[in-house]
């Protein structure tokens, strides 16, 4: 059944996780989940009324919410298919995160309501009628939910979609909650009716925790979370492999659903022509776009490594960065002038946890290091400080070095 649906839906001419196929798979999972959740809701609701089981009614309510969240998933992927327009030049991919957030909020609301039902049953015990045929009927709903969870998980893996992964976990926890209901019904047959209320509370905890988890992930995406280390390392590898690139830094990644954009700075030899430097930038952009399928923009930073002070200055800064726990890197190192005193400039990259009110101390330490090694050959230093991922402008200052520093 699953293979039949996938063959009917997937575009064989596109990658399974392409935007078009992600959308098709998301809509398929959303509508299939909607239909099955409706069937389960009606079935469990009727069984709960017949038996008087509050945990079974809670599970039916959970399936009703599943139906609503599955509709959100289906419509969310439908809306994400809208092409770019004047007001949304990067498409509508982030609607997937919005759908995930709506789904998680629904889960948390249902968790609270189910918990209230369980507490009420504990305070007001009520006998539960659980004949054998009822247990068999509930077991059938578990089997159907298992198929749905596997179906959603398979589509999430194929499409690499967070919202489908969230829905798959939702179905998985539904299985656990229904199993708890079965245990409560069996316990009721043995005279332990109080377990019905406790199982309803257990179901509520599963639902609520799942909602919180995926709400946090959706909010991170909408607010713009930092890139994964694997993504940053991959960009470094691709760009560093380009002939003529001496270094890469200031990598910024922007996510718009399955549309990603990256900008970065590359260091190139300063003695090249503007045309040559521009060509290297275009090759770097093309390498990222082909290998990672992201839109890429490169900025060129010319660096003169032939300057007589460059190698020594590079070694001093490398040792300093390794020794200072607040620093992780430096870049854009330049030394200017045909003879001493030279002018130098560079940018320091701080640890992500270093606050801006620490920058004065960072400046003081690095200036002392420069003065100790180059006070007789350097008269001015321009130093920038930035975090590895920062939306605020870089802090950049100029300092006098050597005898004239106090003038």
Residue-wise pLDDT for 29-80, tens only, equals 888 888 888 888 888 888 878 777 776 777 787 778 778 777 777 776 766 6
Q: Rounded distance, CA 347 to CA 333, Å?
A: 7
In terms of C-beta distances under 8 Å and separation of at least 24 residues, what long-range contacts does 2-10 make, across chains too? 2/150, 2/151, 2/154, 5/32, 6/158
User: In 10 A of CB 132, how many CB atoms?
Assistant: 8
For residues 61 and 356, what is the distance between their CA atoms, to the nearest angstrom? 50
Q: The whole model's pTM is what? A: 0.54
Per-chain mean pLDDT for the chain: 80
What is the pLDDT at residue 224?
67
Task: Please state which of the ranges 194-198, 206-210, 248-252 shows the lowest mean pLDDT.
Answer: 194-198
Which domains does the chain carry? 2-223 (1.20.1510.10), 229-406 (3.30.70.1350)
pLDDT in tens, 93-144: 566 677 778 777 877 887 887 788 778 767 776 666 666 777 788 788 888 8
Q: Is the pLDDT of residue 173 over 70?
A: yes
- Residues 153-166: pLDDT tens digits? 888 888 777 778 87
Helix (H, G, I), strand (E, B) or coil at 1: coil
User: Which of 125-129, 193-197, 220-224: highest mean pLDDT?
Assistant: 220-224
Count of CA atoms in the C-beta half-sphere (13 A) of 69: 28
pLDDT at 213: 80
41/44 Cα distance (integer angstroms): 5
- Sheet of 295-303, strand order: 247-256, 259-269, 295-303
Q: Give CA torsion, residues 317, 322, 328, 332, to 10 deg.
A: 20
The CA distance from 239 to 386, in Å, is 21
């Amino acid at each position: 059944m699953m293979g039949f649906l996938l063959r009917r839906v997937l575009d064989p001419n596109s990658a399974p996780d392409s935007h078009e196929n992600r959308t098709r798979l998301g809509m398929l999972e959303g509508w299939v989940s909607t239909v099955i959740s409706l069937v389960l809701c009606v079935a469990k609701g009727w069984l709960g009324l017949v038996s008087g089981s509050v945990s079974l009614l809670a599970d039916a309510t959970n399936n009703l919410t599943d139906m609503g969240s599955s509709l959100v998933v289906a419509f969310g992927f439908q809306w994400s298919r809208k092409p770019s327009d004047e007001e949304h030049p990067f498409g509508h991919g982030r609607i997937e995160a919005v759908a995930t957030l709506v789904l998680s909020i629904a889960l948390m609301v249902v968790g609270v309501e189910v918990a209230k039902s369980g507490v009420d049953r504990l305070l007001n015990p009520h006998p539960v009628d659980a004949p054998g045929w009822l247990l068999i009927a509930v077991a059938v709903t578990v089997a159907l939910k298992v198929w749905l969870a596997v179906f959603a998980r398979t589509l999430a893996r194929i499409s690499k979609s967070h919202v489908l992964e969230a829905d798959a976990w939702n179905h998985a926890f539904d299985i656990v909650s229904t199993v708890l209901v079965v245990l409560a019904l069996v316990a009721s047959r043995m005279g332990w009716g109080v377990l019905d209320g406790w199982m309803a509370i257990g179901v509520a905890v599963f639902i609520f925790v799942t909602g919180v988890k995926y709400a946090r992930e959706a909010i991170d995406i909408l607010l713009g979370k930092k890139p994964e280390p694997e993504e940053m390392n991959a960009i470094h590898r691709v760009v560093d492999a380009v002939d003529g690139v001496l270094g890469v830094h200031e990598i910024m990644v922007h996510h718009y659903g399955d549309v990603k954009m990256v900008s970065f700075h590359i260091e190139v030899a300063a003695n090249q022509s503007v045309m040559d430097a521009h060509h290297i930038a275009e090759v770097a952009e093309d390498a990222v776009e082909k290998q990672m399928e992201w839109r890429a923009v490169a900025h060129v930073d010319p660096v003169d490594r032939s300057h007589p002070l460059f190698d020594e200055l590079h070694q001093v800064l490398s040792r300093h960065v390794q020794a200072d726990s607040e620093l992780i890197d430096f870049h854009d190192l330049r030394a200017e002038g045909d003879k001493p005193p030279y002018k130098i400039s560079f940018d320091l990259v701080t640890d992500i946890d270093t606050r801006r009110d620490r920058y004065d101390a960072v400046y003081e330490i690095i200036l002392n290091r420069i003065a100790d090694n180059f006070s007789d050959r350097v008269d001015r230093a321009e130093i920038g400080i930035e975090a590895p991922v920062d939306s605020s402008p870089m802090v950049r200052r100029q300092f006098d070095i050597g005898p004239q520093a106090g003038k």
